[in-house]
Homo-oligomer: A and B are copies of this chain.
Amino acid sequence: MSSTEVKLSRLLGLAQTFNNFYLLGFQKGDIRPFLVEGQQVGLIKSDVFKQLRKYPEVFCIRDCESTNQGLVELNPAFRDYNERTAQLEKVLRSLRTDGIFSALHGWRDEYFEVKSEHKGLLKMERAATPLFGVRKYGVDINGFVRHPQHGLCIWLQQRSNTKETWPGKWDNMVGGGLSVGYGIKETAIKEAAEEASIPTDLVKNLVSAGCVSFFFESDQGLFPNTEYVFDLELPVDFVPHNADGEVQAFELLPANECVERVFTPDFKTTSAPVVIDFLIRHGYITAENELNFTQIVELLHVPLQSLYTYKTRLEQIQKQQQQQALPNDDSCNCNTPTIRPMENGHNKAAA
């Protein structure tokens, strides 16, 4: 086995690492759907919902004795987007003061909009989203060069040492989370200017190239992330430079060195899927040089959709019960169906 093959066989291990929650999280503890207006918008671990019990005016935490499973619901009495946002924020600020959750140490005063089926339900401080397992969306730009001597080369950024998350780690050339009020391509263009000073005449070559989805867990909480991926071919002589203080260095690496960098602890784990997807789409990682190729491609696109389908499952069960004319089970104080989060729920939108 050549040294190239040895390196690439580590890819499956890495794909399993950034999917550590997808693969093993549901076996480890009591993970509950988080509902807003009857829609599942998150997944909450027991360490978090135990704290939320202190705020019964904001969260209904229902247990079903029959199934030993339950859910966390934002008080359905809240009237609208603004009231939901304000009530949740009150709790988050209180939890921040308590200092229990390290995720809240990184409070940013920046909002993330929680949506269901494209409808905004509330906005939440970005730093809090891992506690609620809310699906997060971001954009990433693969800046690359077809170098006459070195072949396919990729620009990486080194994150500033002062960033709240992953300080000092190597990362994709440009990346950022989607924030309230910004479109996907709009965010990519804005971040390209702020993080890497990409001029307008180059950023016009941005090519939408799909998305990657994975489900990572760290001591900060849960990261069910989808990253919209863009490719940007750059001239050999272009050098990015940072404009917003969030990046401390850029480096252009040949594809083989880039793979090696991604495996080091100096690389941001949750940015690895974007690099791997890029190297697969551009013919550098192939079914010929990577034995676990199809499995790795699956792990770049895990079915997050299927983990956020409480409402659909409830409706299906209620429909079945109606058809079978079964009496409701009054011994259980909720209508919660058995939660099987790893079931496929794509049929939510079945034709």
A residues adjacent to B (C-beta < 8 A):
12-13, 16-17, 19, 22-24, 26, 118, 183-185, 207-211, 213, 226, 228, 277, 280-283, 286-288, 291-295, 297-305, 340, 342-344, 346-347, 349-351
CB distance from A298 to the nearest CB of B (A): 5
- A288-B184, A301-B298, A305-B298 known; A16+B281 contact, CB < 8 A: no
Known: A16-B346, A24-B350, A294-B305. 17 other contacts (CB 8 A): A16-B350, A16-B351, A23-B347, A26-B344, A184-B286, A184-B287, A208-B286, A209-B280, A210-B277, A210-B281, A211-B294, A213-B297, A228-B287, A281-B281, A301-B301, A340-B342, A340-B343
CB distance from A47 to the nearest CB of B (A): 22
For A22, the chain B residues whose CB sits under 8 A away are: 344, 346
Q: Which of B286, B297, B304, B344 contacts A23 (CB 8 A)?
A: B344
For A208, the chain B residues whose CB sits under 8 A away are: 280, 283, 286-288
A347-B27 Cα distance, complex, nearest whole Å = 11
Q: Which 6 A-B pairs have the closest CB atoms?
A: A301-B301, A208-B286, A207-B283, A208-B283, A342-B344, A13-B351
CB distance from A133 to the nearest CB of B (A): 16
A16-B351 Cα distance, complex, nearest whole Å = 7
For A350, the chain B residues whose CB sits under 8 A away are: 16, 23-24
CB distance from A244 to the nearest CB of B (A): 24
CB pair A346 B295 closer than 8 Å: yes
